[in-house]
Amino acid sequence: MRTPAYPNPTCGLSCGPVERLGQTDAVDVATVELLSSTLAVMVAVATVAIWLIALSGRGRAVIDLVADTRATLTALLAGGATLGSLYFSEVAGYIPCRLCWFQRIAMYPIAVIGIVWMIRGGREVRWHVVTIAAIGSLVSAYHYAIEWNPGLDSGACAATGPACSDVWFRSFGFVSLALMALIAFLAVITVNLIGGEGRVGEANASAST
């Protein structure tokens, strides 16, 4: 059951629907909501699976594959999250709240870093990515908690835009924009922590010595 996707950004779902800037077809927006939510759930499942494989000590080939392709995975995860956030704000007309902007400040640089890293290579970049993603994940977790418990919101968001407790949509009864951002951040952290330097990094290190 989907939460109504058209809350008034000034007072949430209780005020009824409002027209969204740039919206030309509500069905198309609803379809993107469903597809992006489904993709987020798939990424979450894959992230958990990677951790389970790593902790079990089995599936070394999978862990090595993740480590060897972490630059590409980082670019895809952060890039996809960036494009999604821009779609929902610029096409669907969902006005970002203050916490949304903080999450964008963390996610957008990761997308750029990931693309440059994928093209130019390097080994130390991942620690910068993990640091930024960790900060972003904390903001996303707090935002998601506020969506379920508005009492946690100090009211600072409402002074500068939509309340952080407003939920534009909630697919499957639990997937919101804040949760999708949290999943993306955690997935980025996972692919950059799992597997050490990977086979490529170890090979380069051996060659340099």
Tens digit of pLDDT at every position of the chain (209 positions): 334 344 444 344 444 334 444 444 555 899 999 999 999 999 999 999 999 999 998 889 999 999 999 999 999 999 999 999 999 999 999 999 999 999 999 999 999 999 999 998 877 789 999 999 999 999 999 999 999 998 887 776 766 678 888 999 999 999 999 999 999 999 999 999 998 765 544 434 333 33
Q: What share of the chain is helix, strand, coil (3-state, %, to 5)?
A: 70, 0, 30
Global confidence as pTM? 0.81
Where are the chain's structural domains?
26-196
Q: Which two tokens stand for residue 163?
A: 């309340």
Quickly count helices (H) and strands (E) in the chain.
7, 0
